[in-house]
């Protein structure tokens, strides 16, 4: 509408107009076929010692004209068109392949887990469990090294999904509830759902370091963060605090009982090569 030479910058997380979404959806098929999708990895870190315990796998689209397209801009389109199924399969397989390669190069201590994200649409795909089994077997990755990140809204969708989740759990694959606290029915969900990990949403971490009198919002965040870690502990679940952007937040979360975190302060999502370099540096430091 604005003419060919025009461009508009969309902030990450901002919704693209429906038209742009439709176009992206069309391009996405080509992106998959032409290998324009990449997987980046963000460290999941021990808060007390800074040790990398695992990585979350996040998809990126290296678009030939648009540059790097954020998943917030194309995952919704992929979900609508069903392309999320082959896209998710690609990310799953790539994450398993890469994790197996790291374990082969650096040994079993280098990472406990690799964690790709899974959409509800994938859970409804009749081949999903077989795809997971194949991704593990083809790359020789133990199921205990794989964590599938699911959002609450995804797992609230009825008996069939629950059966799939129990099958995965029985295989030894762990399930993480992503963005925890933002969904509708967090508490009742935890009882029926075979989760191993709860990821405290970034919205409860933002501002958690402030506790001057009168900042009720920060107090509320601390209350939620404390309640989540206590509940998780009571149910035997591990926790990860998401979106940690400074040391004060990390310190506060440690005091509230969190031992594991993720966020720009601890490590941004980076290429597999950069994670390899990080592991090499860790190994060199341990040997020194
Ligand atoms: P998520 O699974 O909750 O992933 C965390 C998001 O927060 C990532 O954004 C990550 O880059 C960002 N993040 C991490 N630490 C910080 C921080 O300290 N500050 C801020 N501001 N952000 C931080 P990303 O990579 O843009 O992904 C956004 C969402 O898109 C993900 O949220 C996930 O829901 C979805 N997504 C990403 N990759 C995939 C995928 O392969 N499949 C599916 N189904 N969804 C994906
Ligand atoms: Mg996630
Ligand atoms: Mg998350
Ligand atoms: Mg999130």
pLDDT (tens digit per residue) in 157-207: 678 899 999 999 999 999 999 999 887 666 777 877 899 999 999 999 999
Residue nearest (by alpha carbon) to ligand 1 atom 21: 243
Query: What is the spatial distance between Cα 116 and Cα 109, in angstroms, rounded to a whole number?
Result: 20
Question: Of ligand 1's atoms, which has the minimum distance to the CA of residue 269?
Answer: 11
152 lines ligand 1 (CB under 6 A): no
Give the position, in ligand 1's atom list, of the atom nearest the Cα of 58: 38
Decide if the complex's ipTM is over 0.85.
yes
CA 251 – CA 274 distance, rounded (Å) = 26
For 203-251, write each residue's pLDDT tens digit.
999 999 987 666 677 788 899 999 999 999 999 999 999 999 999 999 9
Task: Residue 264: name the closest of 279, 252, 247, 251 by CA.
Answer: 247
**φ, ψ at 185 (rounded to 5°):** -130, 50
Per-residue pLDDT averaged across 15-30, rounded? 67
CA angle 201, 264, 231 (to 5 degrees): 25
**Nearest C-alpha to atom 15 of ligand 1 is from which residue?**
263
**CA of residue 151 to ligand 4 center, whole Å:** 9
DSSP structure class, residue 16: P
- Does ligand 1 have an atom closer than 6 angstroms to the CB of 75? yes
Strands 52-63 and 37-46, how do they pair? antiparallel
Q: How far is the CA of 6 from the centre of ligand 3 (A)?
A: 33
Tell me which ligand sits closest to the C-alpha of residue 240: 3
In terms of phi and psi (left: phi > 0; alpha: psi -120 to 50; beta: otherwise), the region of 243 is left
Q: Which residue puts its alpha carbon closest to atom 22 of ligand 1?
A: 243
Residue from 10, 58, 93 to probe ligand 1 pocket by mutation (most atoms less than 8 Å from CB): 58
* 87 within 8 A of 78, measured Cβ to Cβ: yes
The reported pLDDT for the residue numbered 16 is: 55
pLDDT at res. 181: 86
The 10 Å Cβ neighbour count of residue 172 is: 12
User: What pLDDT, on a 0 to 100 scale, did the predictor assign at position 7?
Assistant: 56
> Does the CB atom of residue 70 touch ligand 1 within 6 A?
yes
Residue among 217, 200, 198, 199 at smallest CA distance from 208: 217
Q: Whose CA is nearest to atom 7 of ligand 1?
A: 243
Q: How far is the CA of 42 from the centre of ligand 2 (A)?
A: 10
Q: Is 112 exposed, middle or buried (0-12, 13-18, 19+ CB in 10 A)?
A: middle
- Six token digits for residue 90: 């690609």
Q: How far is the CA of 83 from the centre of ligand 3 (A)?
A: 21
Q: How far apart are CA 172 and CA 147, in angstroms?
A: 10
């Amino acid at each position: 509408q604005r003419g060919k030479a025009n461009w508009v910058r969309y902030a990450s997380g901002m919704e693209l107009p429906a038209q742009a979404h439709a176009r992206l959806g069309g391009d996405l098929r080509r992106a998959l076929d032409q290998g324009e999708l990449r997987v980046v990895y963000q460290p999941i870190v021990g808060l007390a010692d800074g040790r990398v315990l695992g990585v979350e796998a996040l998809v990126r689209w290296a678009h030939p004209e648009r540059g790097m397209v954020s998943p917030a801009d194309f995952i919704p389109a992929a979900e609508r068109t069903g392309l999320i199924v082959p896209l998710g399969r690609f990310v799953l397989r790539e994450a398993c392949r890469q994790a197996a390669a790291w374990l082969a190069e650096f040994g079993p201590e280098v990472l406990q887990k690799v964690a790709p994200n899974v959409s509800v649409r994938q859970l409804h795909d009749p081949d999903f469990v077989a795809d997971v089994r194949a991704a593990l077997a083809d790359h020789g990755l133990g199921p205990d090294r794989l964590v599938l990140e699911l959002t609450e809204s995804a797992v609230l969708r009825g008996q069939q999904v629950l059966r799939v989740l129990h099958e995965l759990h029985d295989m030894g694959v762990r399930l993480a509830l992503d963005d925890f606290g933002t969904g509708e029915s967090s508490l009742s969900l935890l009882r029926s759902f075979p989760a191993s990990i709860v990821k405290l949403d970034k919205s409860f971490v933002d501002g958690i370091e402030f506790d001057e009198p009168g900042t009720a919002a920060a107090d509320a965040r601390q209350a939620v963060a404390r309640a989540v870690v206590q509940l998780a502990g009571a149910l035997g679940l591990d926790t990860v605090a998401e979106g940690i952007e400074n040391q004060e937040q990390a310190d506060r979360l440690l005091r509230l009982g969190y031992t594991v975190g993720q966020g720009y302060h601890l490590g941004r999502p980076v290429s597999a090569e950069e994670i390899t370099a990080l592991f090499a540096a860790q190994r060199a430091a341990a040997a020194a």
